[in-house]
Chain A
């Protein structure tokens, strides 16, 4: 039903014999917020640069809005917006002058420029700083200015490379609200991020990449269910092993339980994402006359998904960089 706005086949980019993007196959559907997640150096920015026509792929093909990024680069550039990872406005111009420059370069009609600038600036709350030189802006203000400049021409598809990097909580919220608004208007958003809460909040569709390859793909819910569903953690008040195994046995027979495990005294019950699992488990224990000491229910988040797919060498790489291991996750 909805058409592909981005379609890549076997996209590849190599830096000095090291593949930054390694045979990427990606489809992004119209009107969606697509999240590209991955640890530092995974190839998110490199992928973005190829899609926005600034980096020529070594091999493979990428179509953006149906146009080839290499042979029809001009057509691609006209209909996309881009906000880079690191703020990069002209520091010796004012915010307004920067916005005017980009409005002109993106061929926003002169008559509309002032209105467009006012609207986007109000939204991002940049108004009072608009006529100050950018070199006097804080990092967050610069980021906001870049976001504003990338959206001025109301593109059909916008590339945001880590949009909330360095933003305070309220601005981050405003940016998120704006992304929700864009989606309502039918804009497709290609979002690179390291923040799982951001992906959770915004993305309809996610690809996790690592070392230039896609390691997981799906909607946030699909990815989370892929971990084996939600977990009910239950322990009987009795310490007898017989009681524990009896409980485990009883619960494993329930039809909504996909598996069980044991962690010391605790019985782990994997259930399909299902809000009624908890009371049902309690009922089953009660009808088997087993007294329950404690029970908890956890739903794995994207963070767990991310760590499962990229975790191992993620920590390893951090050690490489800092010389000492980062706090390990359990």
Chain B
């Protein structure tokens, strides 16, 4: 545990040194709320009813923000790997899991801060609200955690199996847009072409969006919530299994 907190301390010390990076990444989702929400306010989705686009979009923006954060969760280790710092970390008796855990917690804390900003701002400037109230908000944070966990591990897997940072960033930007479009983050699942909808089901973001959207718009639908939580949990377990295998091979 102390190894995890020592590494977490490191990540936050770095964050503190780069206030502008922090500021930009924390406020980046605001761009979506400010521009995209207003752009789409009067859009008409023929197969589904979207009463208020900003409210509709809230779950999508939260999920996409968590998705990008987590998939980028391995970036510090990418550079540690290239400049030799990782070798020094690995030569210490720190448990291998602490490397993973400290990245996950670091990303989770940043994500939660962003979710707070997104929800707060969209209440303030877009007049949205969460139907299920504070408990629903806590459930949104739980979904955030489940979505982020698997993806952070996936990010670490990429860091360790790709040859260097160039291919990592190429792959990251290659994945991000399709993942956004192959999800109901910005449009209702029902309005998607069939073949895209089927692909969207394989996307963890889809399940996070569906559950959160229910909590924001309609209320407590436990069938929906538990299905989504279950699927996300299965994805997490699969990612963890893959992660343990890859990290065992690369981290010894």
Residues of A within 8 A of B (CB): 49, 52-56, 73-74, 77-78, 80, 82, 84, 86, 88-90, 92-93, 97, 100-102, 104-107, 133, 146, 149
Contact = CB atoms under 8 A, between A and B. Distances in A.
Contact of B252 (A73, A97, A101): A73
Contacts of B7: 101, 105
Q: Which 5 A-B pairs have the closest CB atoms?
A: A88-B84, A104-B6, A105-B92, A77-B93, A82-B91
Interface of B is mostly: helix
Interface residues of B, number: 23
Contacts of B90: 54
A105 B85 contact: no
A84 B87 contact: yes
Contact of B92 (A92, A93, A106): A106
A78 B93 CA distance: 5
Contacts of A53: 91, 252
Interface in B1-41: 2-3, 5-7, 9-10, 13-14, 17-18
B46 interface: no
Interface in B169-226: none
B17 A88 contact: no
Contacts of A102: 88, 92
A78 B7 CA distance: 17
A92 B83 contact: no
A107 B2 contact: yes
Contacts of B9: 100-101
Interface of B: 2-3, 5-7, 9-10, 13-14, 17-18, 83-85, 87-94, 252
Contacts of B83: 88
Residue with the highest number of chain B CB atoms closer than 10 Å, among A77, A78, A101, A107: A101
B13 A54 contact: no
Nearest to A103: B6
B19 to A, nearest CB: 13
Nearest to A49: B87
A97 B10 contact: yes
A246 B1 CA distance: 81
Given A77-B91, A100-B9, 5 more contacts: A82-B88, A84-B87, A102-B92, A106-B92, A107-B93
Contacts of B6: 100-101, 104-105
22 contacts: A53-B91, A54-B87, A54-B90, A55-B252, A77-B92, A78-B93, A82-B88, A84-B87, A88-B84, A90-B14, A92-B13, A92-B14, A93-B14, A100-B9, A101-B6, A102-B92, A104-B3, A105-B6, A105-B7, A105-B93, A107-B2, A133-B17
